[in-house]
Amino acid sequence: MTTKWTKEELERRFRHYLGDEDDDSAQARKRRRILRAAHELFLAQGYRKTSVDDVARKAEVAKGTVYLYFPNKGTLLEAAIALEKRGLMKRLGPLFDGSIPKRERLLRYLEITFTSGRDMPLVARMLTGDSELWAALEDIGMEAITQRQAEGAEFLMELIEDAVPGVLTDEQKRERAEVIIGVGFSAGMLLDERTRSGRSLDAFVRSLSEMLTFGVAGRRPEKKR
């Protein structure tokens, strides 16, 4: 199974939103400064209360300069989310470069996904049901979000096949992938220690990921006829 989630394709998408990470030109530095300002303001006072004027003031540029790089506030939000996800992409590197056994790719993916709220505060707010952010993304266009979720499911199907090669049908792999995506929305809630019975986030996620990968007590027994 070939998915659109290759390292090269994901890096291309990040460059579309964020520019070249290695570009040290004055324009690139200004773009990054504007984006960091927007990200900080979205976290500090919320998307709705943050204006393009606020972003320009914090980034110490003219309002028109913000529009040169980002056509509207919605594209600033998309780029701010992409900024967080690019950091996550670096952690996902071993899933693409062959440095870990294929059978461990699903486990590693789950561990990274369920701890992602710690490193992606804006995404964590979305995962815990921030209606303001979801409304903003709906204004931008839910079609793109739906498409990315579908691509994510395809990638997960590939990881599931690596974990249990030749065991599940495509339909079964897709069902399991959709369940994992649904459970992934709990990543933000796991930041609350009360949901983890006092355990550290890493320890809790390790157990959760192992259960999802291997089952609570191994392979589910067949029903007796």
Question: Would you say 205 and 176 are in contact if contact means Cβ atoms under 8 Å apart?
Answer: no
Position 99, amino acid: S
User: Looking at residue 218, what is its pLDDT?
Assistant: 54
Number of domains in the chain: 1
- Residue at 187 is within a domain: yes
- Residue at 201 is within a domain: yes
Show Cβ contacts of residue 97 under 8 Å, excluding neighbours closer than 6 positions. 7
- Residue at 118 is within a domain: yes
Question: Domain span at residue 181?
Answer: 92-220
User: Looking at residue 188, what is its pLDDT?
Assistant: 83
pLDDT tens by residue, the chain, 225 residues: 556 778 888 888 888 888 888 899 999 999 999 999 999 999 999 999 999 999 999 999 999 999 999 999 989 999 999 999 888 888 888 888 888 888 899 999 999 999 988 889 888 888 777 778 877 777 666 677 778 888 889 999 999 999 999 999 999 999 999 999 888 888 888 888 899 988 999 999 999 999 988 887 654 445 555
- Residue at 53 is within a domain: no
User: Looking at residue 224, what is its pLDDT?
Assistant: 52
* Distance in angstroms (rounded) separating the CA atoms of residues 47 and 177: 31
Selection from 107, 89, 116, 129 nearest residue 190 by Cα: 116
User: Looking at residue 1, what is its pLDDT?
Assistant: 53
User: Looking at residue 220, what is its pLDDT?
Assistant: 44
- Residue at 119 is within a domain: yes
User: Looking at residue 7, what is its pLDDT?
Assistant: 83
- Residue at 177 is within a domain: yes
Beta strands in the chain (DSSP E): none
- Residue at 48 is within a domain: no
- Residue at 10 is within a domain: no
Whole-prediction pTM value? 0.81
